[in-house]
Chain A
Amino acid sequence: RKEVEQDPGPFNVPEGATVAFNCTYSNSASQSFFWYRQDCRKEPKLLMSVYSSGNEDGRFTAQLNRASQYISLLIRDSKLSDSATYLCVVNRPDSNYQLIWGAGTKLIIKP
């Protein structure tokens, strides 16, 4: 089993729709969780950190479910500019300085 798993997609979604995807992680001792966004042939950029209580940033909401060991990302009122690959990131439990990256979920927003 991969340490961090994501559905690779692509998710093809009409503009204005709501889309959600999950990421599962294998080690229950992980403490830090993030969503990064990566545009085609570009570097990853932090989208948001994921806190135990969940967090929201505009149209984006991230949730953590420790019992089932997954994090989720919800995008409301999707825009064409949301088209990207979304990377799930979790810290390696034995090292706060090492992160484990999922392979990403590709999202395509269609007009």
Chain B
Amino acid sequence: NAGVTQTPKFQVLKTGQSMTLQCAQDMNHEYMSWYRQDPGMGLRLIHYSVGAGITDQGEVPNGYNVSRSTTEDFPLRLLSAAPSQTSVYFCASSYGDRGWVGELFFGEGSRLTVL
């Protein structure tokens, strides 16, 4: 029962470095998304996808790229890390087959620190 798997769980970067957060789900969900969670704020949507080959921007997309080449995988790329990207990142998926998100299933989160 893997569900949604995120790697790495912890990462420290220097300003300007790039990296990829990996996300994989084994539930055959069409909808996948990336959020960031900062203290005192609600989760904010970075990017989402409603199926392989389809991605769209959320509320805070700047500085991040995504791709969806398969149903299972939805990696998040930080192009040039900045201290403002220090956060906890969650990948989440759902069936999304009725024209709306429905119940989201989350990965365990990735804690990123940018120095």
Contacts and interface: CB of A to CB of B under 8 A. Distances in A.
Interface of A: 4, 8, 32, 36, 42-46, 49, 87, 91, 96-104
Given A8-B40, A103-B40, A98 B58 contact: yes
The listed residue with most B CB atoms (<10 A of its CB), out of A42, A44, A104, is A44
B90 interface: yes
Contacts of B96: 97
A97 B31 contact: yes
Given A97-B31, A97-B50, A101-B43, A42 B100 contact: no
A44 B90 contact: yes
- Majority DSSP secondary structure for residues of A touching B: strand
A32 B100 contact: yes
A36 B96 CA distance: 18
Interface in B70-115: 90, 96, 99-101, 103-104, 106-109
A96 B107 CA distance: 21
B25 to A, nearest CB: 13
B52 interface: no
A49 B104 CA distance: 11
Nearest to A88: B42
